[in-house]
Every structure is written in structure tokens, then in C-alpha cells.
Amino acid sequence: MRPTTSNEIRQAFLDYFNEVHHEVVASSPLPQIDNPTLLFTNAGMNQFVDLFLGREKRPYTRAATAQKVMRVQGKHNDLENVGPSPRHHTFFEMMGNFSFGDYFKKEAIDFAWQFVTGVLELEEERLWATIYTDDDESFELWQRYLPAEKILRFGKKDNFWEMGETGPCGPNSEMFFYMGDMATCDPSRLNADDDEEFLEFWNLVFMQFNREKDGSLTPLPKPSVDTGLGLERMVRIMQRTDNNYDTDLFSGVLDKVQELLGDSDEQRQENLVGYRVIADHGRAAAFLIADGVRPSGTGGGYVLRMIIRRAVRFGYSIGFTGPFLAEVAKVYIRQMGEAYPELKLREEHVLRTLTQEEKRFARTLESAMVQLYHIMADLNEKGEKAISGEVAFDLYATHGLPLEITRDVVQERGFTVDEKGYTEAREAHAIASGKGAFGEYSAETGVYGRLLTNLQSTGQLEDGVEYDPYLGAETESEIVGLIRDGKLVDSVKVGDVVEMVTAVSNFYVESGGEVSDTGQILGLGGGAIFRVDDTRQPLNGLVVQVGEVVQGEFKLNQLVRLQVDNVRRSDIRRNHTATHILHQELRDRLGTHVTQAGSLVAPDRLRFDFTHESGVNSETLAEIEGKINDAILANYPVGIEYMGQKEAIGQGAMALFGEKYGDIVRTVQIGYEGERPYSFELCGGLHVAETNDIGLFRFTSEGAVSAGVRRVEAVTGRVARQLIAERLNLLDRLAGQLNVPVSELESRIETLQAEQKAAQKRIEQIQQRMAGMQFDSIMAQTRDVAGVKLLTAQVEGVQVDGLRQMADRFRDNVGSGTAVLATVNNGKPIIIAAVTKDLIPRGIKAGDIVREVAKVVGGGGGGRPDMAQAGGKDAAKLPEALALVPKLIEKAIG
């Protein structure tokens, strides 16, 4: 069946050439890596240059592609035509078939003819061919299909194709389709600059030479073929529209723009140029971003920024007031995502990058335009029409207005701009700002300062790292800095401990008590893995992911996927929202003097310090815990809203004293819509969507931090569940050990305690009785020394108290006498001496006795004359020490 839609035509081309033994090769990415003179792929043959030159061999010598191409630079620059022109684009798709020393002119012409007339069924009468002036061979070959008068000869300008300043080249033959009225067809108009009826659609290049750096031509090892069929034009021919934009490639987007603007068909027609610029640039930008280009101030990044801004400027001039390019890109992603899967794969990244760049530019667009109008008005007064390069550069440097937009605007009003002067001004500025390699910056600013300055001054990241932890757990970005051992490096490998800086970071950086995210960063299209252990912000505008390369290697500018450990982050979210609920309930129960004095929101617990004089008793704590769990069960939605700081405070948001907030603040509201929020705080942290997500809240401690500041700790969600499960299991185990059901555990323990108390009492009674029996036998050892009743004894198994009691009992029983009793406690001797009152005036003093006796056992002691105590070291000498006592008595009395 004859293909009609753009997707069908693309596929028909690849299918046809596959049938005639061509390898179907995927499009190469838009950014050019190998060719320093080329920013973007500008032809299907770029990826095959080495094959043409014979430097590389592949298993195939014939290939076919649908190639993404961008022409905004150098020899092939179509930018200025885009918009007004019905058939020029910045980005377009080029279908191509290639022969690497395989077939040459004959087959190339045969294949083209068969595809065009056989597959696409184009009318032969509308087809023309052109050839290089002296290419008689092609003339003969074409004559097999076309009459001689429809084979036209042209010179170098039209029929000799070159890739760029260097590279493969050769004479070519082009195919044209006549779109006009056959009756008025004028073949002399073919290739005329202002002709719109003869549409050139296919370029067959007969590659024979390589253009060297010095401009000379050297022959290729073998004659080859490179053809390029513009898909947009072919679709237009097949769909018979009078411009590329009315084909199904663009109509969906133009309808979308019309719908977004709410334009009538007449308005759409009036603003045609704006519509087309948006359709073209929006598509180019989406493809560039999907291929890893980021808006910046240099190279391909500048082109991307410029086309986005050009689209935005046109968009605003036809009625847009906010970001719209993401909507445009969505249409293309739906439409072309099958043929170019990278669009689908990076959809989120594409949409976000577009919107962010739009917003960034929208902030300065208005002031830039006002400034530009003033400049033109001033010049007008002086009768001048030329804007200097310096002024144009200043508009770019201070308002972000690319030269290309300035040129559009001033040309619309009959002014010119000095583009050479602009380039000079830009270069002078680059030198002054020290743009260059990392190493050119002063070491004093430190590695972070150097990196940030460099990223900003090259325009790679004008506003620093795009930090967006609210983005979701996964995003894609590119590596813009690698720091190892405090130095900037170009690549890192497995085992390296690294700080990795990406253009976008969705990893949360510790703030407001909430700890940093961890996770991993994966190299796209390779097996590289970087484990992120911490995320830090060493400088405003710079976020670094800290960790270790655990697999493969990473390079600067590489595309990566950032994956936050989302299980851990969910735990953190629960604890953060729970902290807000806790804050609210503490104020409700204890009073509004309660304010936050410190907070930790970690995955495994939350800690909250607050101002309050006294301890919170366990009943109150249980009550608060109940209320918090009620709020969790109430399943309040948690809403995030940005608003002016004054407005937020005015509406009752709780803000922390001493915290810095910007003019626009982020607020977290817990509660049902339309009602007064249950909780309303200024907060930059991560939260659950609904309070039910917290699951469960449980206090684990309450105590004092300092005078007037209390601290509570608590767990939620998984940890709370685990804690409770552990406690319940413990109860089960205890009940098992005591052989009762859990419900009887408490009474069983009470019984056991009572039993134990009774048993203890009984033991004491028995001990006392035994001590009494022991004392009776000791008393029997009392003897008479110089008329004084003396008892000396070493007693086993008693403590100091027992010894004292014995001494007291001796005094009570004996009437008049002296006792010196000793025991060994933990290997140490203890000695107690007791003297009845009547003996003291006779010179017998308890203190004197123990002092002397203790000397023998290597110790000392003393006390009152009637009762004294001593300790020592050498228990073995106790008998010797006690044997001294009679002599002491004799001496004292004597």
C-alpha cells in the first residue's frame, strides 16, 4: 500500500532499502563528538565518515538510516529562514542510503527511481533531476528514466556536496518534484532562489574525494554513495501541502498551540511565523535535550538555549504568558517516540529542562525587550539604524537575549546589528572573566569555588546545580564535576571515593533537621554504579553527592540516572510529617509556649526538642501519643504550597525563629481542604501525601536537654511496627517461661514477687537464729584477764553489722568486760572492739585497742572509747593480732 503518513513514509524507506540488502542503522546522536569543526550531526553520512575514507571496516558495505540532523551552523545554517520559510528547519530527519565502495552511480539512481516511482508512486511527469556540469555518466544513466530536457546541469554551488570544511565530498545529482500547475510549468525556475514550486527532495552524492585541512582534494579509496532524502519535504509531497508545516509532522503541534492560545483560525494564520518557529524549535529542542544537550552559554548548549529562547520570544509575541514548550514537546514525543525511543526514555527530563529554561528566560525577557526598544528609539532619533556589537552583547550578558533574537527583533523594524562586533565583545568578555580550564582559577577559592565559578562563567550552569529534591526519586542528568582527593578530575573508576556533581540533583541535602538522602547514580548505557552515602552543599549553588564508585567508571559530561534510596526516604518522610503532628499536639496539650528548639528527622527515628519547664509524665505522654495516632488515622492530606512569606505568616503558618526564609516560602499544610489546617508550617522537607502513610507513632523516650528544654524521641512506620512486634514477642516469651497466658502474666508476676518477699523474710529469720546460736558458743570463750572479762574471737560468716550486734549483745550480757571480735570479709580482716562504760575510766579504750591490733594485720582504725572498728589487709595474721589483746588490757590496767 502506498505510504501516506510521516511514520509510514519513514518506515517504507527503511523497508525498501533493507529489501535491497542495506543494513538499517540507527540514527547517531545529534551532538558531534568526533568532529571538532561540527557541533551537530548535519548529514546522514557523518557517522560513516571513516567507512568512506576506508579507515574502518564493518560487516556491511550498504546502509540505510533515518538520521536526526541539525543545521544551525557554518556551511549549512538554515536558522534565519526558519519561520518565514515553508520548508526550512533547524532540526529535520534525513533518510539516506549509503554505499561504502559497494555500488556507485547506476545503482544509486536506480534505487532512487524505484523507490520514488514504485513505492511512493509519484507521478513521473512531475519529476526532474539535476547533475554536476560535466557528469555525463549520470546524464546517460538518468536518460533511462527521464527525457534529456528534464536532466539539468548545474555548477559547484548546487551540485557538488561537501560535509564541512573537511571531509568526504563529491559531485551530486538532485531530484526535484514539481508542485505547481503543469500547464504553467517553467523548468528554468528550477533552483531559482525564490522558487517554491520545484521542490528539491533527494540529494544523491557520488562520493569521490576527501577535502583535507589545507583545502586540497584527495581521492577516496573507492567511489561511494551518500544520499539524503529530506523526510519533511517528502511527506509534504506525499500529502500535497504547500508547506512542510501543514503535514502530519507538524499539524498536531500547531493545533496544540492554537488550542493553548485559544486562537481562532484567522488568528493562527496571522501569527503563522510564530507558530512555525515554535513548532520547529520546540521539536529541535526536545531532540537535543533527549540526546543529552543542556542549555548553556557555549557550543551546542548555546544553540539549544538560543532556540528555546527564540521560541519563547515568538511565543510571547503571539500571546503566551507562561511556559508552553513542554506541551509542544509532549505532542512530538507521542508522535515520534516509536521511531526515536530516546524521546520516550527521557521524556521527564526533556519536559523539565524545557520548562526550566523557559522560566529562566521569561524572568528577563520583558526587561530585555524594553531595553532593546529604548536602544532603537534612541538610534532612531539620531537617524541611525545600526546596533553595535557591544550593545548586542550586553543584552545577552545582562538579559540573556541571544544575538539571534536581537537580530530577529531589530530586523523586523529595519535595523541591523553588528555581528562581528558582537563576537569581538563576547571574546573580550570571556578573557576578562577568566573562562577556561579548571586550573586557571585561583586556588584560594578552593575546589568547590573553582568548580562553581567555572560552571557559571562558561554558562554551563548559570544558576549553579539545579537542586530539586521534590522531583521524585529518579531523574536523569549529566556529570558536570568530579572531585577526588580534593582535586577536580575528568574521570573516576571503581574503588574511587568521589564527590560527584550533576547538573540536576534530586538528592535531599540535610536541612531543617532532615538528614541527607543516600542512593546510587548509574551511568546511562553502561554498567557503572556510584554508591551515594551522603549529599552535601559545600557552597550555595553547589550540591555534591559523596560516595564510592562500586562498578565501572564515570566521565565528565556523561549522562547518568540518579536514584534516591526511596525506601529510606519514605521512612524519613513519615518521621518528618509525624514531627509536624507532634509539634501541633504538644502545643495543644501543653500550651502554645511550646516551640521547637531542635529537631532530627532520620529514617529510624525522630527527635524533637521543645521549650517547656517541667518533665512530661507518662500519662500525659500517652495522651499525646494517642492524639497523634488519631491524627494519623484521620488521614489528613498533606499539601505543599508556595506563597509569599507575609501571606504564609498571616495565615498562621508556624515559622521557626532564627531560620532564614526567602520571600517566597514553602509551606506544609496538614488537614482537609477548605477547613482550617490542622497543622501549617514553613518547611522545606519531604513529607508523606496523607497522614495515614505514617502508619503508627510511638514515643521511645522523654527527658531534659537543658533548663527549660525537653527532648522526646519517637519512632513511626516500619520502626514502630518492629518495636511493637519485638515487645509483643517478648511478652509471649515471658508468658511461655512462666507457663501462663499473657493475660495472666501480671498477676503471676505479682504472686511471684510476694512469694519471693516471704521467702526472703524467712531466710532472714533463720539467719538471725543461727547467729544467736553461734554467739552462745562464742560467749563461752570469755575469760578473765587481770580481773577484766575478756572475749576475743574470730567469727565466720558474718558482716560488719553482725559483728556489731554480737559486740552489743556481749556488753548487754556481761555487765562489765571487753570484747574484740574479728571476721574476714571479701578476704579482708575487720575488727571490732567494745568496752563497757565502767572500764573506760580504768584506762581500757576501744579505740586504742583496735588501733594496736590493726597494725598487726597491716591496717588501721579507731572510734569511740566504748566501740571502735578497724580494717586491715592481712587476714592470715588475725589470730596473732587477737593474741595481742590480753597484753594490751594488762598494760592498760597495770
How far apart are CB 44 and ligand SER at their closest, in Å? 5
Nearest 10 degrees: CA dihedral of 333, 281, 422, 360? -60
630, three cell numbers:
488519631
If the CB atoms of residues 205 and 465 are measured against ligand SER, the closer one turns out to be 205
* E strand or H helix that includes residue 417: strand 416-417
If the CB atoms of residues 44 and 802 are measured against ligand SER, the closer one turns out to be 44
Nearest 10 degrees: CA dihedral of 535, 539, 543, 547? -40
- Using Cβ positions, the residue closest to ligand SER within the complex turns out to be 228
If the CB atoms of residues 116 and 854 are measured against ligand SER, the closer one turns out to be 116
Give strand ranges (E) for 735-844.
783-785, 788-794, 818-825, 828-835
Q: Where on the phi/psi map is residue 482: left (φ > 0), alpha (ψ -120 to 50), or beta?
A: beta
Which segment (28-36, 39-47, 583-591, 853-861) binds ligand SER by CB under 6 A? Answer: 39-47
Q: Which of 12, 38, 43, 892 binds ligand SER (CB under 6 A)?
A: 43
If the CB atoms of residues 45 and 498 are measured against ligand SER, the closer one turns out to be 45
Residue corresponding to grid cell 521524556: 347
Q: Are 799 and 764 in contact (CB under 8 A)?
A: no
If the CB atoms of residues 43 and 234 are measured against ligand SER, the closer one turns out to be 43
* E strand or H helix that includes residue 22: none
Which segment (225-233, 386-394, 499-507, 573-581) binds ligand SER by CB under 6 A? Answer: 225-233
For the segment 45-84, give every residue that binds ligand SER (CB under 6 A): 45
Helix, strand, coil distribution of the chain in percent, nearest 5 = 45, 25, 30
| Rounded CA separation 544/505 (Å) | 8
Radius of gyration of the chain (CA): 46
Which segment (23-31, 42-50, 245-253, 344-352) binds ligand SER by CB under 6 A? Answer: 42-50
For the segment 123-162, give every residue that binds ligand SER (CB under 6 A): 161
779, three cell numbers:
560467749
Give residue 205's Cα distance to chain centre: 47
Q: Are 434 and 440 in contact (CB under 8 A)?
A: yes
If the CB atoms of residues 76 and 718 are measured against ligand SER, the closer one turns out to be 76
If the CB atoms of residues 205 and 806 are measured against ligand SER, the closer one turns out to be 205
Q: Tell me which residue of 238, 201, 7, 231 sits closest to 120, measured CA to CA.
A: 238
Q: Which of 227, 502, 629, 691 binds ligand SER (CB under 6 A)?
A: 227
| Rounded CA separation 416/405 (Å) | 12
* E strand or H helix that includes residue 875: none
Number of residues that bind ligand SER (CB under 6 A): 10
How far apart are CB 116 and ligand SER at their closest, in Å? 15
Report which residue type is found at 474: E
3-state secondary structure of 750: helix
Which segment (191-199, 223-231, 322-330, 792-800) binds ligand SER by CB under 6 A? Answer: 223-231
How far apart are CB 325 and ligand SER at their closest, in Å? 28
How far apart are CB 108 and ligand SER at their closest, in Å? 11
Which segment (192-200, 220-228, 614-622, 847-855) binds ligand SER by CB under 6 A? Answer: 220-228
Q: Which of 135, 226, 466, 476 binds ligand SER (CB under 6 A)?
A: 226
Q: How many helices and strands (H and E) does the chain possess?
A: 26, 37
How far apart are CB 234 and ligand SER at their closest, in Å? 13
Q: Which of 116, 175, 205, 821 binds ligand SER (CB under 6 A)?
A: 205
If the CB atoms of residues 25 and 822 are measured against ligand SER, the closer one turns out to be 25
How far apart are CB 514 and ligand SER at their closest, in Å? 54
Q: Which of 203, 406, 669, 691 binds ligand SER (CB under 6 A)?
A: 203
How far apart are CB 242 and ligand SER at their closest, in Å? 23
If the CB atoms of residues 151 and 175 are measured against ligand SER, the closer one turns out to be 175
| Rounded CA separation 267/491 (Å) | 53
C-alpha pair distances (Å), 424 with each of 99, 328, 371, 462: 43, 36, 21, 22
Based on the shown chain and the rule CB under 6 A, indicate whether residue 100 belongs to the binding site for ligand SER.
no
Q: Which of 3, 44, 301, 519 binds ligand SER (CB under 6 A)?
A: 44
| DSSP sequence for 150-171 | GEEEE-HHHHEEE-SSSEEEEE
Which segment (41-49, 603-611, 776-784, 801-809) binds ligand SER by CB under 6 A? Answer: 41-49
How far apart are CB 207 and ligand SER at their closest, in Å? 9
| Rounded CA separation 84/212 (Å) | 36
How far apart are CB 48 and ligand SER at their closest, in Å? 10
If the CB atoms of residues 37 and 611 are measured against ligand SER, the closer one turns out to be 37
| DSSP sequence for 25-64 | EPPPPSB-SS-TT-SB--SGGGGGHHHHTTS---S-SEEE
| Rounded CA separation 272/258 (Å) | 11
Q: How many CA atoms lie within 13 A of 477 on its CB side?
A: 25
If the CB atoms of residues 30 and 43 are measured against ligand SER, the closer one turns out to be 43
Which segment (37-45, 368-376, 410-418, 755-763) binds ligand SER by CB under 6 A? Answer: 37-45
Q: Are 859 and 829 in contact (CB under 8 A)?
A: yes
If the CB atoms of residues 161 and 422 are measured against ligand SER, the closer one turns out to be 161
Report which residue type is found at 519: G
Q: Tell me which residue of 580, 540, 526 sits closest to 691, measured CA to CA.
A: 580
How far apart are CB 226 and ligand SER at their closest, in Å? 5
How far apart are CB 100 and ligand SER at their closest, in Å? 14
If the CB atoms of residues 91 and 467 are measured against ligand SER, the closer one turns out to be 91
3-state secondary structure of 292: coil
If the CB atoms of residues 96 and 389 are measured against ligand SER, the closer one turns out to be 96
If the CB atoms of residues 141 and 648 are measured against ligand SER, the closer one turns out to be 141
Site string for ligand SER, 304-333 (x = CB under 6 A): ------------------------------
| DSSP sequence for 63-86 | EEEEEEEE-EETTEE-GGGBTTBS
How far apart are CB 160 and ligand SER at their closest, in Å? 11
| Helix ranges, 196-346 (H) | 231-239, 251-261, 265-270, 272-290, 299-317, 325-336, 341-345
How far apart are CB 96 and ligand SER at their closest, in Å? 5
Q: Which of 228, 274, 297, 523 binds ligand SER (CB under 6 A)?
A: 228
Q: Which of 3, 29, 96, 300 binds ligand SER (CB under 6 A)?
A: 96
**Binding positions for ligand SER, rule: CB under 6 A:** 43-45, 96, 161, 203, 205, 226-228
